[in-house]
Amino acid sequence: MTESLPEIALQVVELADWIWVYLILITGAFLQSVIGFGLGLLCAPVLFLISPQLVPAPMILNALLLTLLISIRNRDAIHLKQTSFSILGGTAGVLTAGAVMLFLEPHHYRLLFGISIILAVLLSVVGVKPTIGVASNLIASLMSGFMGTTTSAGGAPMGLLYQTVEQRQIKANLSVFFLYINSLGIIVLWFTGSAGAQDLVLFLKCMPAIMLGWVLSGLISHRIHSEMLRILILLVALLSGISSIFMQGS
């Protein structure tokens, strides 16, 4: 039995949507593989408009795969002491976000953190660069955990902290941190019933795009010098701050 014209038209639209999804995921995976963060910031808002079912659980699974690949590629640059403090701060950030979301309207804390990120970027531009220590690591990771839970774009604080570090160390330590945060996030979603088998199917459909973006980054990331990497981090962080301010609460 031949398909009707409406059915064919629907299939064409679905194919077009998946082409856009792949292009966005490839770009996001490439960006995060180069600077250490950016997949959620770039992809989540756009994918929500094109295919809402891809956010949040399939996107978190995409991020899990990518951060695992980046961590393996840069495993010899992982600083265990720094990442342990990051994980501690990130856990506190996720738990704090869960508590705050019960009492405050989303636009209140998004405005606060958006302004904080923009101020941090401006300070970095004029020459103020953070030093990685216990206190700064805990604060940045707490903010990242908090923002990742409330806005799906939590990479900026940690990216700003690591902006002057050697390229492979940036990607290694941020990836280990986000590997943990994303694992915690998907576990919470699964046990609360917000993620299920269908999300796993969607993730498997997205996997080739994530892999391709990661492979492409390996071909040119060595050509990006440290100052260019720092500029990319500042630009992505600035975009994160602006999007946090203008993101409307549900």
Q: How is residue 31 written in tokens?
A: 């960006």
What is the end-to-end Cα distance of the chain in Å, rounded?
Answer: 44
State phi, psi for 84 to the nearest 5 degrees: -65, -40
Distance between CA atoms of residues 161 and 79, nearest Å = 14
Q: How is residue 24 written in tokens?
A: 């966005």
* Domain range list for the chain: 5-246
Residue-by-residue pLDDT tens, the chain, 250 positions: 456 766 776 676 688 899 999 999 999 999 999 989 888 878 877 887 888 898 888 888 999 999 999 999 999 999 888 899 999 999 998 888 777 767 766 666 667 677 777 877 887 777 777 888 999 999 999 988 887 766 666 788 898 899 888 888 889 999 999 999 888 878 877 877 778 899 999 999 999 999 999 999 988 877 887 788 888 888 888 887 787 677 554 4
**pTM (2 d.p.):** 0.81
Q: Which amino acid is at 235?
A: L
